[in-house]
Structure 1
Amino acid sequence: MFIQPWDAALDDTEWQSWIADGHDFGLLSVNGLRGHAPVVVPTHFTVDGTDLLVHLARPNPVWKAIEADPDVTFTVTGDYAFIPGPWRAKPGTEPTDSVPTSYYAAVQFLCRASVVDGPEAKAELLRRQMAHFQPDGDHAPIDPDQPPYGRMLPGIRGLRLAVAEVRAKFKYDDHRPVEQRTGTARRLTERGTALDAPTAAQQLRRLDRVGTWKP
């Protein structure tokens, strides 16, 4: 992922807070076997300390790919919108000559994957995930020796992704003038489609922290 200086996370807390704010679904990418395209799996995940936790169906083709190469990338994206060229026009220029762009936030985790396959280890992984996704505890006990999970656990395998590096990008035109960025956020709010509102919120949040970009 290419990151311009003005698109980089301002600190680790920025991307960590963004992930914690409900961004818990991403793409697991595995290099796979020689001669085959990479395996890419969309899935929810849970943060466990500095690791990521995932579980997938046992028939998933990702397992053979991970066995061949356990170095994987997990990518989370969100708060994205298409920005028309005229919105980015410089004063005194023809609006239709301006170049459009995409705004988005993205965090990539470069990880080393290890398979979690023991019954109790998988049960504990699921307990940690359910504590995040169903914190009210409105589910049966996750016990490998009791129904309903006991009979279902053999159908899944878990993954613990040990994070080696994080690349975070917040692409919201932070190198552009304050007036333009403020205007774009207003236009996004007025347009109000898809993820326009959270995209505008991200742009205004970055604007508040960055102000006028200084290399």
Structure 2
Amino acid sequence: MFIQPWDAALDKAEWRTWIAEGHDFGQLSVNGLPGQPPAVVPTHFTADGGDLLIHLARPNPVWKAIEHDPNVTFTVIGDYAFIPGPWRARPDTEPTDGVPTSYYAAVQFTGHAHLVDDPEAKADLLRRQLAHFQPDGDHAPVEVDQPPYGRMLPGIRGLRLEVTDVRAKFKYDDHKSVEQRTDVADRLTERGQALDVPTAGQQRRRLDRIGPWKS
């Protein structure tokens, strides 16, 4: 992932906060077996300290690729929107001369995938995931010898991603003027399609922290 200086995370707390705010779905990318393309699997995940927890169905063909090469990447993308060219045109140019772009936030985790096959270890992984996704505890106990989860555990495998590197990108035109960024955020809010409003929120948040860009 290419990151311009003005698109970089301002600090580790920025991307960690963004993930914790509910960005818990991404894509697991695995090097393919010899002669095959890379495998990409969309899935929810749970952060556990510095690791990521994932579980997938046992028949998923991605497991063979992970066993062959456990070095993987997990990517989370959100708060994205298409920005039309006229919104980005310089004040002294024709609106149609503006160049469109995409705004988005993205965090890429790379690391070593550890497979989890022990029944009790898988149960513990599921407990940690449910604590995140169903914090009210409105689910049956996850126990190896009790239904419903006990009989389902053989059908899944767990993955603990030991993260070795994190790259975060917040692409919201932070190198543009304060006035232009404010105008785009207002236009996004007015348009109000798909993720326009949260995208505008990210742009305003960065604008409040950065102000005029200084190289």
Return the TM-score normalized by structure 2: 1.00
Aligned to 1:164: 164
Aligned to 2:197: 197
Distance 2:208 2:112 in 1: 36
Over the aligned positions, Cα root-mean-square deviation in angstroms equals: 0.4
Distance 2:113 2:46 in 1: 14
Q: Quote the offset at 1:42 in angstroms.
A: 0.2
Query: What are the equivalent positions in structure 2 for 1:1-215 lying under 5 Å apart?
Result: 1-215=1-215
Distance 1:107 1:7 in 2: 12
Tell me the amino acid that sits aligned with residue 67 of structure 2: E
Gaps of 5+ in 1: none
Distance 2:134 2:37 in 1: 35
Distance 1:62 1:164 in 2: 21
Q: Quote the offset at 1:82 in angstroms.
A: 0.1
How many matched pairs?
Answer: 215
Tell me the amino acid that sits aligned with residue 41 of structure 1: V
Q: Quote the offset at 1:151 in angstroms.
A: 0.5
Distance 1:125 1:7 in 2: 34
Q: Quote the offset at 1:157 in angstroms.
A: 0.2
Distance 1:148 1:189 in 2: 45
Q: What is the DSSP-based 3-state SS (H/G/I as helix, E as strand, rest coil) of the residue aligned with 1:208?
A: helix
Q: Quote the offset at 1:32 in angstroms.
A: 1.8
Q: Quote the offset at 1:17 in angstroms.
A: 0.1
Distance 1:43 1:174 in 2: 30
Distance 2:96 2:34 in 1: 46
Which has the larger displacement, 30-39 or 167-176?
30-39
Distance 1:169 1:60 in 2: 30
Distance 2:29 2:143 in 1: 30
Distance 1:140 1:91 in 2: 60
Distance 1:144 1:39 in 2: 30
Q: What is the DSSP-based 3-state SS (H/G/I as helix, E as strand, rest coil) of the residue aligned with 1:15?
A: helix
Distance 2:104 2:81 in 1: 7
Q: Quote the offset at 1:113 in angstroms.
A: 0.1
Q: What is the DSSP-based 3-state SS (H/G/I as helix, E as strand, rest coil) of the residue aligned with 1:158?
A: strand
Distance 1:76 1:200 in 2: 19
Q: Quote the offset at 1:97 in angstroms.
A: 1.1
Q: What is the DSSP-based 3-state SS (H/G/I as helix, E as strand, rest coil) of the residue aligned with 2:2?
A: coil
Distance 1:76 1:199 in 2: 15
**Alpha-carbon displacement from aligned partner over 1:105-163 (angstroms, at most 9, x marks no partner):** 00000010010001000000000000000000000000011111111000000000000
Return the TM-score normalized by structure 1: 1.00
Distance 2:144 2:97 in 1: 62
Percent identity, aligned pairs only? 79
Gaps of 5+ in 2: none
